[in-house]
A and B are shown apart, each in its own frame.
Chain A
Amino acid sequence: MMTPKELIEVALLAGEIMLKNGAETYRVEDTMVRICSKGNLKFNESFVIPTGIVATVADEKNNLLTISKRIKNRTIDLNKISLVNQFSRDFEKHDFTYEKAIKILNDIQNKKGYSNKITPLAAALVCCFSTILFGGKMLDAISAFFVGLFTQIVLNILNSKNLSYFISYIIGGFSTATLALITVNFHLGINLDKIIIGSVMIMTPGVAITNAIRDTIAGDLLSGVARGVEASLIAIFIATGAGIALSILK
């Protein structure tokens, strides 16, 4: 049996991994409460918003223990959320020691995603096929393939520099529109608008939008509004970047 202090540390680490990688706040709260419910606690509560975690537990003698964590930079890695979800289920069923639980969570945290060579290729495929969905011709799809490839390489470099996310989205939108203009000028693509619409898809804030909706239904209005604002800001930044490129270069 873990002490309340060890238990809350495990719960906090699990919650931190989930929130950093794009989980909904109600899922983080659920996971933390589930982990803490394993111990002999009188009271356990967690409060999560997209930028921070607060958790409190009380043992039988009413000794309160509160721990808080500020989340600064967030990325998207759904694999880690799935793994922590699985971990919390296992944690409920079996008896883990403190060291073992922390080791499993640290392993999850250090897990690498798909490599930097595969992501540009995936992005290129997204751009290529969404151009077709939006009614582009075959040549448009081919040029969107290259636009997506280069934009994702740029985004990967910007993300590794830990820049503020709004700068990377403006630069992303800018480079998409610029590359699309170049391909049209070299007569590789035909419809400029179809290429840009298809290529912008890799930056769509899908995670922010779905999380905003799911958080709002779960009753986390604060997180829902925060994520909704995030999603619409990202859309505006991408449009700003693309708009700057189009109005300067066209």
Chain B
Amino acid sequence: MEQSIWFQLFSAFFVSFSFAILTNSPKKTLFYCGIIGMFGWLVNIIFLRLSFSPIIGVFFAALTVSKLSEIFARLLKNPVPIFLIPGIIPLVPGAGMYNTMIALIKSHFDSAIKTGIQTLLVAGSIAIALMLVTSFNWIFKVFQKEKFIK
């Protein structure tokens, strides 16, 4: 990691911001998408600096992104995916997929399996983080509704 943290955060902000334009998000949500992407990357960097494995870092970053998306969705009255999809983009294991492909082209099958499984684990940890936050949120919603009815 050669760039300063501030430069990386700035980049993460613009990755999410511009990806939100590609998915046609409403204009007033673009800035918040960028903010979510930035915080996700911040968490990822912190865990990497503390020398945790990339899987753990991405897991906690995805938790942050997911929770922030739920919060902003409530505040700005927009569906959650509008914030979630651009916010998760900086965490996608693009490098892993590329390295797997290159290993396959060079027929280094053992290293292809190694990098492939690592990529799958990173992707799986993102999925599990999203599942955790979303299902907890739905449980809370159910409880709130029951209180309201009573």
Contact = CB atoms under 8 A, between A and B. Distances in A.
Interface in B92-130: 92, 94-95, 97-102, 104-105, 123, 126-127, 130
A207 B81 contact: yes
B15 A133 contact: yes
B41 interface: yes
A202 interface: yes
Interface residues of B, number: 51
A79 B25 CA distance: 5
12 contacts: A85-B78, A123-B22, A125-B14, A125-B18, A126-B14, A126-B15, A130-B94, A132-B7, A201-B19, A201-B92, A202-B22, A206-B92
A82 B78 contact: yes
A123 B94 contact: no
**Interface majority SS (helix, strand, loop, mixed), chain B:** helix
Contacts of B131: 213, 216-217
A126 B85 CA distance: 14
Interface in A204-244: 204, 206-207, 209-211, 213-214, 216-217, 235, 239, 242-243
Interface residues of A, number: 51
B23 A210 contact: no
Interface of A: 22-24, 27, 76-82, 85-86, 113-114, 118-119, 122-123, 125-126, 129-130, 132-135, 152, 193, 196-198, 200-202, 204, 206-207, 209-211, 213-214, 216-217, 235, 239, 242-243, 246-247
**Interface majority SS (helix, strand, loop, mixed), chain A:** helix
B15 to A, nearest CB: 5
Nearest to B96: A197
A106 B85 CA distance: 26
A213 B130 contact: yes
Nearest to A132: B11
Nearest to A119: B22
